[in-house]
Structures are given as structure tokens and as C-alpha cells.
């Protein structure tokens, strides 16, 4: 069976002579980084294919196609990483057994059935792979192998895009959703307070309206004082009846004119009777005139 990397052998393999401008130590470091990324990519590829084959339930067809697309993308990544390792004079170390022994990804669950379960499982492993690629990118940059760093940067960007595709299926709250969701009702609670102030202003309006009613009540009182003033001119010392009769309006004032307490009001009925009497006497005079004519 030979030596396996899982038993302590580094992921470097054989070295071949090359005319590259990179120093030997830089090449060895980059080949090791690339082979580690290669076995992780190979392991993730098989796990995504497992999800592609076995997903069921809601959104089956969409997830079936998404997992297939991701598997094809990972296969291209594995080919690009392996070619970069061999171009540096190294050996691509990524058989299925080597990947199973040296991969940094957790094993795929075999009891998952529904699509949501597979989305979470694949998204978790894609996120780990993305973080490992970012760390390899930083190491290659520090090792001054900019071409390897550029390749890892491009692959990491593509892996991050699929991580987003997967996470968008089940992450629906912002970061710190408990705190942010708690703050949103707080903001909404301020609106009832503001709306509560509006009824207070509206409650003040009835008070102002009450003052208006009070003023209107004073107006009848002023109107009622006129009879009192009229009564005082006539010698009566009781200006209060106008106030008591202010609620009856103008009709109350007419009723006070019919009462005979004052001297002025006593003179009005006879004058009216005199007019009536005069009207009654006119026919008598006419009748006398008619007799004289006869």
C-alpha cells in the first residue's frame, strides 16, 4: 500500500527539477499548501456529490441542481490546484484514501434526508473550506509566492460565492438577531409613546372647547343682564331674572315682557288694548256715519 500522508508523511510527495525563479524552500512551502487545499477540495467534492445523490423533500430539484453545480466547480478547483503544485516541481497528492486521511473537513452525516438538512451540512463544510483557503492565501503571500496566492484568492472567492448561495436558504436574521430583533420593537415602542402624546393634545382640545362653552355660557349671562339693566332703569332692583331665564334664549325675554312687574310693561298692555279698542271703535263710528247717511 505504501506510505500514506495520514501516517505522518507530509503532503509534498516527490520533487522534480524546475527552472522556476522561486527558491526551493518557497516551492516546498507552496506545494505543501496546495496539496492540503487539494485534499480538502477532493473530500468536499465527494461530500457534495453525496448530498446531490441523496437529497429529498422540499425544493428537491433546485438543491439537486445546486449541489451538482457546486461539485463541478470543486472539480475544476481541484484540477487547477493540482496543476499549480506540479508546475512548481511537486507531486499532486490527492487520492481518495489520502483525502480521507488528511482532510480537515468533518465527515458527512449519512442519516440526513431533507433538503434543509443537506443545505446546512454542506454550507458548514463549505465555510470551513473557505476559511482554510483564506489562511493558505495569507501563507502563500507571506512566502512571497504571489502566483499561488493569486490562484488561492480566485478559488476562495468562488467558494465564498457558493457559501452565500447555501446560507441564504436558512439564514433569515441579521447578525446578532436576538439583539437586533429586540431593538426593533424598542424603536416601535417609541411610536406608541408619540401617538400617546397626540391624544393628550387632543384631550386638551376638549378643555379648550370647554372654555369656549364657558364663554358661551357667559354670553347668555350678558344677554340676560340686559333685562336686568332694563329692570333697574324701570326702578326694579332685581336684575337677576334675566340671568335665570338666559337658558330659554330670546323666548325667555319675550316672556319677561308679558309680565307686569315693571311700570313700563304695565303701560304696554293698555296701549295694545287701546289699539284694539280703537280698531273696535272704528266700526262703531262708521256705523254711526252710516246711520246719519241713511
Q: Encode pLDDT of 83-113 as tens digits.
A: 999 999 999 999 999 999 999 999 999 999 9
C-alpha cell at 137: 492565501
Q: With respect to CATH, is domain 25-167 assigned 1.10.3720.10?
A: no
- What is the structure's pLDDT at 121? 97
- What is the structure's pLDDT at 21? 86
Nearest to 169 by CA among 45, 58, 75, 72: 58
**Range in 139-143, 145-149, 160-164, 230-234 the model is least confident about:** 230-234
- What is the structure's pLDDT at 12? 67
- What is the structure's pLDDT at 74? 98
* pLDDT, tens digit (0-9, with 9 covering 90-100), for 175-228: 765 544 333 443 334 444 444 444 444 444 444 444 444 444 444 444 444 444
The radius of gyration of the chain's CA atoms, rounded to the nearest angstrom, is 53
**Range in 60-64, 118-122, 288-292 the model is least confident about:** 288-292
Instruction: Please enumerate in sequence order all residues whose Cβ is within 8 A of that of 87, keeping only pairs 6 or more positions apart, or say none.
Output: 18, 20
Q: Is the pLDDT of residue 6 over 50?
A: no
Work out the average pLDDT over 49-69: 95
Q: Which residues of 3-16 are buried (b: 16+ CB within 10 A; e: fewer)?
A: eebeeeeebbbeee
**Range in 65-79, 107-121, 156-170, 268-282 the model is least confident about:** 268-282
Q: Is the pLDDT of residue 169 over 70?
A: yes
pTM of the model as a whole: 0.57
Amino acid at each position: 500500500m505504501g506510505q500514506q500522508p495520514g501516517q505522518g508523511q507530509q503532503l509534498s510527495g516527490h520533487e522534480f527539477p524546475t527552472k522556476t525563479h522561486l527558491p526551493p524552500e518557497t516551492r516546498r512551502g507552496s506545494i505543501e499548501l496546495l496539496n492540503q487545499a487539494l485534499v480538502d477540495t477532493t473530500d468536499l467534492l465527494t461530500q457534495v456529490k453525496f448530498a446531490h445523490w441523496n437529497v429529498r423533500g422540499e425544493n428537491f430539484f433546485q438543491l439537486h441542481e445546486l449541489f451538482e453545480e457546486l461539485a463541478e466547480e470543486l472539480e475544476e478547483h481541484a484540477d487547477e490546484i493540482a496543476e499549480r503544485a506540479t508546475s512548481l516541481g511537486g507531486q499532486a497528492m490527492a487520492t481518495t484514501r489520502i483525502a480521507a486521511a488528511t482532510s480537515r473537513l468533518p465527515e458527512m452525516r449519512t442519516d440526513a434526508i431533507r433538503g434543509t438538512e443537506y443545505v446546512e451540512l454542506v454550507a458548514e463544510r463549505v465555510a470551513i473550506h473557505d476559511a482554510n483557503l483564506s489562511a493558505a492565501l495569507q501563507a502563500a503571500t507571506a512566502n512571497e509566492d504571489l502566483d499561488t496566492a493569486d490562484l488561492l484568492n480566485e478559488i476562495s472567492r468562488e467558494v465564498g460565492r457558493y457559501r452565500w448561495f447555501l446560507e441564504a436558504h436558512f439564514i433569515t436574521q441579521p447578525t446578532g438577531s436576538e439583539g437586533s430583533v429586540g431593538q426593533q420593537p424598542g424603536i416601535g415602542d417609541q411610536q406608541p409613546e408619540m401617538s400617546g402624546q397626540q391624544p393628550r393634545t387632543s384631550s386638551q382640545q376638549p378643555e379648550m372647547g370647554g372654555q369656549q362653552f364657558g364663554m358661551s355660557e357667559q354670553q347668555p349671562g350678558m344677554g340676560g343682564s340686559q333685562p336686568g339693566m332694563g329692570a333697574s332703569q324701570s326702578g326694579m332692583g332685581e336684575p337677576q331674572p334675566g340671568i335665570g331665564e338666559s337658558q330659554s334664549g330670546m323666548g325667555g325675554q319675550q316672556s319677561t315682557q308679558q309680565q307686569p312687574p315693571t311700570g313700563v310693561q304695565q303701560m304696554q298692555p293698555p296701549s295694545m288694548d287701546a289699539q284694539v279698542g280703537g280698531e273696535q271703535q272704528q266700526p262703531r263710528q262708521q256705523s254711526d256715519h252710516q246711520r246719519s247717511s241713511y
